Amino acid sequence: MEPDKGQFRFIDLFAGIGGIRIPFSELGGKCVFSSEWDKYSQITYATNHGDVPYGDITKISPKDIPKHDLLLAGFPCQAFSQAGMKKGFQDTRGTLFFYVANILNYHRPSVVLLENVKRFSTHDKGNTLRVVTDIMNYLGYTFVHQVLSAKDFGVPQNRERFYMVGLLSKHKFIFPNAPKHPTAVGNILEKGSNFKRYTLSNELWAGHQRRKSEHLRKGNGFGYQIFNSSSPYTSTLSARYYKDGSEILIEQKGKNPRKITPKEASRLMGFPEDFKVVVSDTQAYKQFGNSVCVPVVREIAKLLVPEVIKLKHKPKPAKRVIHLEGKIPISGLFLPA
Mean pLDDT for 145-149 is: 97
CATH number of 8-181+291-332: 3.40.50.150
What are the pLDDT digits (tens) for 61-74? 999 999 999 999 99
What are the pLDDT digits (tens) for 314-328? 887 777 765 443 333
pLDDT given at position 78? 62
Overall size of the chain counted in residues: 337
Q: Are 13 and 75 in contact (CB under 8 A)?
A: yes
- Fold: same for 8-181+291-332 and 185-275: no
Q: Please name the residue ranges forming H helices in the chain.
A: 21-26, 39-49, 96-107, 127-138, 202-217, 241-244, 262-268, 281-290, 294-311
**More confident call, 336 vs 15:** 15
Q: Are 110 and 308 in contact (CB under 8 A)?
A: yes
pLDDT given at position 94? 56
Query: Residue 4 — pLDDT band, cuts 50, 70, 90?
Result: very low
The H-or-E segment that residue 113 falls in is strand 111-117
Indicate the DSSP class of residue 164.
E
**More confident call, 302 vs 128:** 302
Q: Are 29 and 9 in contact (CB under 8 A)?
A: yes
* Dist. CA 325–CA 323, nearest whole Å: 7
What are the pLDDT digits (tens) for 273-286? 999 999 999 999 99
Identify the active-site residue in 60, 77, 96, 333: 77
CA atoms within a 13 Å half-sphere pointing along the CA-CB vector of 50? 10
pLDDT given at position 2? 43
**CA of residue 323 relative to chain centroid, distance:** 31
Q: Which of 102-111, 209-218, 224-233, 274-283 is the least confident region? A: 209-218
Mean pLDDT for 119-139 is: 87
Strand pairing class (142-149; 160-167): antiparallel
pLDDT given at position 128? 84
Mean pLDDT for 3-30 is: 90
Q: Which of 248-252, 288-292, 332-336 is the least confident region? A: 332-336
Q: What is the largest CA-CA distance in the chain?
A: 70
CATH number of 185-275: 3.90.120.10
What are the pLDDT digits (tens) for 166-213? 999 999 999 999 999 899 999 999 998 789 999 999 999 999 999 989
pTM flag (> 0.85): yes
How far CA 121 is from CA of 4, 69, 79, 172, in Å, comes to 38, 26, 11, 19
**Is 31 known to be catalytic?**
no
* Dist. CA 170–CA 141, nearest whole Å: 8
Mean pLDDT for 106-125 is: 91
Q: Where are the domains of the chain?
A: 8-181+291-332, 185-275
Residues contacting residue 212 through CB under 8 Å, at least 6 positions apart: 222, 223, 224
Share of the chain above pLDDT 90, in %: 69
Q: Are 307 and 171 in contact (CB under 8 A)?
A: yes
* Dist. CA 160–CA 133, nearest whole Å: 20
Residue 88: exposure state from Cβ atoms within 10 A (0-12, 13-18, ≥19): middle
| Beta bridge pairs of residue 71 | 11, 112
Cα-trace Rg, the chain: 21
pLDDT given at position 322? 54
